[in-house]
Structure 1
Amino acid sequence: NDQVKGIAYGNGLVTNYTYTKLGQTSTIRVKNGSTVLLYLAYSYNKTGTVGIVTGNITNTSGVSSKLKDQYRYDQLQRLLYANNTVGSLKTVLQYTYDTLGNRLSQTLNGVSTSYTYDSNNSELKTAMTTNGPSIFYSYYPNGNLKTSNVTVGGNTNHWSYAWNIPGNLLSVTNNTMVQGYYAYDGLGRRIEAKEGASTTFYSYTGTETLSDQFTSGASNNYVYANGLRIARMGEYVSTYYYHVDALGSTRLVTDANHSIVFSDSYQAYGQDNSPSGTEALKFTGKPVSQTTGLYYEYSRWYDPSIGRFISQDSDPGHRSDPQSLNYYVYVQNNPTSNTDPTGHFLIEALIGAAVGAAVGYGWCVASTGGWTSSECGYAALGGAASGALIGLTDGASLLLESGAGAGGALATDELVNTSDFFANTESVTTTITTDTTSSISTGATPVISSTSSGSTISIITDSSGQGASLTSKLFGGEDPLVVRGGLNTPQSLDTALLKGGISANSAPGATVEQLSQGLPHTNIGVTTVGSIRGIGGDVISDATDENPFHVIIVPGPGGTQELSALFDIRPNPWKVPR
């Protein structure tokens, strides 16, 4: 049935797999010689849900701990009870749900949290923990999370979320401190993340991260075999290897010397359980924000603390499956058996062929831009039929046939040719050419340039890793003006951030008069795209039918104080008596 039997890694470690007669993962064993670093044994209920997981896991100090997970479900296969034990740490969780799949209560080691919802659209309104935090949520009209106010002991933290028109998360702010800025390509993929003092740029293969590059000059390239992440290749020929469980969650990361640099078990909905070391790709193999705790699930962001996405699913679901009609719930409340590789499509991860299903679905989304299961579901089925890994020998890193029409040649082209690295926005037709003389897996950095109708877009990263300009550069080689109404004080810019983002007008070749037309303010602030990027900020196109000049300004590390100083305040030419 072409299910993977074993993997020999470049550092000498070996992973072996066994399966049930139904194709479910039975055991996973990671060994360094005769030493078992990770062992997981799965047993299943008659419904196919995971009943018990036993085994052992080794942490970064080399200490091996026994683990045991026990799960119970209701008649709809929704998780009711989870008992996770790692060494001496025991975590017991219990859940109840309403008929729509909304979580009504959670009990964590005896501490209860109750939840309330908007009866019209399943938006989470409150989460109240006994002798703990009280959280109040609000939403934009389109169902995207707007604020979450967390009160503990009389002190309140105000979290706010800003989105662009297609529904991509642009920023997360805690009180007045921005925790993250994000930019996306025309397919809605996150290609830039700015969290704290660190800015990271991403490219993709299907729905998975192919490479990430940091403004410090450091970078990582990821090696896959038919959708299974094998290794991360960093600078100075440093290579790290991923060892995952049946859900694809990263349980261990090892280096070239067999040392464990990351280890984690997880609670059922993805929160950490006895972690040691640090790693960006964790629960179900997805990237987690170090500043917000949110998981980036390709098209939406997932909050493991509430087991929900923070924006609505664009897939309307199916009446034949009522639990799929809830736009926020994660994998229909069965996180021990299912994953959601794109934020839209539930996959039964514990069937070995589901690796192929995830890949088939991912290739469909990447190649067609389809965002619904009706468009790409058949690709997932084709991928499942094609199966998972058929082998990995001699440390070779290659993509094997993934089914659903994505043959080996296409897969290899997608791995080597990163021509979709920085696709343009939906409003611009872009042709991108890429230097593909070196495989990305060798550590070579792609040199990318693109030409669009009406303007030239250059996104150049030389082979030394230097000179990487910020993504979302939609303005060519010139330095366009940026005009924003008002006095643009730090306080007014902070207020704009809290309300969803710092709006302005900008376009190549546009004059101050053109960009200020329609602004109601007596005064305007004028600066340039180059000045904003010079302080580490960015200007992101957010054009609408009503305002084709509209952009979002992302402050640099110096925040709104530094940004405010860039604006030349002058009278609005449309308000000056003529």
Structure 2
Amino acid sequence: GVVELDDSYTYDPVGNRRTKAALGGNASYIYDANDRLLSDGKYTYGWDAAGNLTSRSGPEGQTTYRYDAENRLVETSGPGGVVQYAYDAEGNRISRTTAAGTTVFVVDPNMPYAQVLEEHGPAGAKLYAYGNDMLNIQGPDGTHWFDYDGLGSVRALTDASGTLTDTYIYEAFGSVAHRTGTTANDFRFTGEQYDEALEMYYLRARYYEPGTGRFGQQDRRSGNPANPVTFNKYIYTNANPINNTDPSGLFSIPEITTSLGIQGFIRSIPGLTAKALGVGVVSGVFSTIYSIITDIEANRDITAKSVANAAISGFCFGFLSTFFTQYRWARIIIGTVVSGASLVDFVSSIKAGLTIRASLDLLIFMFSLRYLRADLRSLRYQPIDTSNFKGGTPTKNGGIRERIQFWKEWQTRYPETLSEANKAIIKGDRAPRIDATWCKYFPDQAPYMGEKLIHHHINYGAKAIPLPEPFHRYQPGRGILHP
């Protein structure tokens, strides 16, 4: 039959849902001063000082939630029983234990976002095959293929013969409004894994509750002053689930990138960072505009062909920039060449009376010089060689994982990067945190102010560098750090 959905929502200025009007009933929501949900009309919620959901009380009784020192959910207890979760050193969920037994997840951390390859539990084993997205599931019910919509949500399953076996219809924020079929499948809204015991989706960094459109833990990332909604620590995709997804549990991704196939392109390029891609796109657009303005000021005829040529040259320049700006040595070479060439072009443009082009040349010179200085300054801070560390765990390619020795060696070599507070932390055999002193030498890490620093072994080798822990754990393109 036909499934009718007619839901509408109202929000406060920072994205908290105030009301929901639906065919199945209406709801009103109450929050505290820190945007934590206190009541939705059916349930009341409790929170700890760190902003983690600790309880949900309603008609069925009370469910409580417990977290470890890293604020990862490790146990929930309620009317349905006790469920426990375990994670690996990278923060990936690797098991779930219920009264029926333990389900073990075999996870591949080298995909753009860590993905489950296999599940082994009381009901049997499930194996998952991937292309750019999950292709099929092989389990006790046989092999079934996934059919997705434009948002990446699983809309249907078909068996090996092509017969439709299961269908899914979702509300805007991901609750399943209607389902047909009985295939054991947890991957649903935006292709993510649903946890029946929690009634939440596992989005890696945090768990997401689609009924309220909110996370059960705070977002670690800072907001954008130009967009106040981003300061809300709990809402899903800035309350815009139609156009955005959040596979990391940390920040939303406009789904236009999926529609254009850009995500698949990014995934296919080893070592491609989001920052490098951004540099490439901006470089390409700027190069195109620069070429067109040059033609206009030189009184050349502007034709469709000349615009197309400018766009092609801009694309090529941006495409090359995408790759080469990932590497410090390449950035230094490019920065030196571009800064010198742009200064020469500036003088030539002034002599030729091309004032707009001269302004662009000067802009290029200033930016290239700024980033060249930043890269030259960062050359001083070389990776730490861990091959001679005592104790610890060996890496695949000759390194030794030993946090205490790494930070003591870093302090010996580069004491100016550490505040007195961080030196005291290292003395206590703990990892330092990103503070104002650290950001003075590593300004690109300022968005992670207050977060813990970890040491990352480059290509699992002996050389290790300091990185913000959230970036290391959840950044898009996990394969960039762990190829």
Structure 2 CA distance for aligned equivalents of residues 363 and 140 of structure 1: 42
Any idea what SS the aligned residue of 2:193 has?
A: coil
Correspondence list, 1:316-327, <5 A: 316-327=222-233
1:326-375 CA-partner distances (Å, limit 9, x unpaired): 110000111111101101121111444665448859999xx99xxxxxxx
CA contact (8 A) 1:349 1:355 kept: no
Greater RCO, 1 or 2 (C-alpha within 8 Å, sep 6+): 1
Query: Is residue 2:7 matched to residue 1:101?
Result: no
Give 1:432 deviation, angstroms: 6.2
Distance 1:351 1:453, change over 3 A: closer
Correspondence list, 1:238-253, <5 A: 238-253=142-157
Indicate the residue corresponding to 1:124 in structure 2. Answer: 37
Any idea what SS the aligned residue of 1:317 has?
A: coil
Distance 1:106 1:433, change over 3 A: same
Give 1:312 deviation, angstroms: 0.5
Query: Is residue 2:126 matched to residue 1:220?
Result: yes
CA contact (8 A) 1:341 1:358 kept: no
Indicate the residue corresponding to 2:75 in structure 1. Answer: 171
CA contact (8 A) 1:127 1:136 kept: yes
Distance 1:176 1:253, change over 3 A: closer
Q: 1:144 aligns with which of 48, 52, 64?
A: 52
Structure 1: gaps spanning 5 or more residues: 1-86, 369-375, 386-402, 407-427, 435-450, 455-578
CA contact (8 A) 1:198 1:214 kept: no
Any idea what SS the aligned residue of 1:280 has?
A: coil
Give 1:167 deviation, angstroms: 1.4
Give 1:431 deviation, angstroms: 4.0
Correspondence list, 1:256-295, <5 A: 256-277=160-181, 278=183, 279-295=185-201
Query: Is residue 2:28 matched to residue 1:114?
Result: yes
Indicate the residue corresponding to 1:190 in structure 2. Answer: 93
TM-score normalised to the size of structure 2?
0.54
Structure 2 CA distance for aligned equivalents of residues 114 and 327 of structure 1: 20
Give 1:90 deviation, angstroms: 1.1
Query: Is residue 2:3 matched to residue 1:89?
Result: yes
Q: Mean Cα displacement is larger for which, 142-151 or 346-355?
A: 346-355
The structure with the greater share of residues assigned to strand is 1
Distance 1:126 1:352, change over 3 A: closer
Structure 1 CA distance for aligned equivalents of residues 265 and 100 of structure 2: 34
1:266-313 CA-partner distances (Å, limit 9, x unpaired): 110001122012421000000001222100011110000000011001
1:34-69 CA-partner distances (Å, limit 9, x unpaired): xxxxxxxxxxxxxxxxxxxxxxxxxxxxxxxxxxxx
Give 1:109 deviation, angstroms: 1.3
Distance 1:384 1:93, change over 3 A: farther
Indicate the residue corresponding to 2:115 in structure 1. Answer: 209
Indicate the residue corresponding to 1:378 in structure 2. Answer: 275
CA contact (8 A) 2:87 2:95 kept: yes
CA contact (8 A) 2:95 2:102 kept: yes
Structure 1 CA distance for aligned equivalents of residues 193 and 5 of structure 2: 24
Structure 1 CA distance for aligned equivalents of residues 118 and 158 of structure 2: 19
1:240-274 CA-partner distances (Å, limit 9, x unpaired): 21110011100111111222232101110001122
Any idea what SS the aligned residue of 1:242 has?
A: strand
Amino acid at match of 1:233: Q
Amino acid at match of 2:275: Y
Correspondence list, 1:467-506, <5 A: none
Any idea what SS the aligned residue of 1:324 has?
A: helix
Any idea what SS the aligned residue of 2:238 has?
A: helix
CA contact (8 A) 1:287 1:295 kept: yes
Structure 1 CA distance for aligned equivalents of residues 204 and 260 of structure 2: 18
Structure 2 CA distance for aligned equivalents of residues 359 and 234 of structure 1: 30
Give 1:107 deviation, angstroms: 1.2
Identity %: 27
Number of matched pairs: 293
Give 1:182 deviation, angstroms: 0.8
Any idea what SS the aligned residue of 1:90 has?
A: coil
Query: Is residue 2:137 matched to residue 1:229?
Result: no
Give 1:379 deviation, angstroms: 6.4
Any idea what SS the aligned residue of 2:5 has?
A: strand
CA contact (8 A) 1:347 1:357 kept: no
Give 1:377 deviation, angstroms: 4.8
Structure 2 CA distance for aligned equivalents of residues 102 and 363 of structure 1: 38
TM-score normalised to the size of structure 1?
0.46
Aligned-CA RMSD value:
3.6
Structure 1 CA distance for aligned equivalents of residues 76 and 6 of structure 2: 31
Distance 1:358 1:270, change over 3 A: farther
Distance 1:125 1:377, change over 3 A: farther
CA contact (8 A) 1:181 1:193 kept: yes
1:211-247 CA-partner distances (Å, limit 9, x unpaired): 123144833332222x3222223479x4321110011
Distance 1:380 1:168, change over 3 A: farther
Structure 2 CA distance for aligned equivalents of residues 191 and 383 of structure 1: 37
Distance 1:265 1:110, change over 3 A: closer
Amino acid at match of 1:260: L
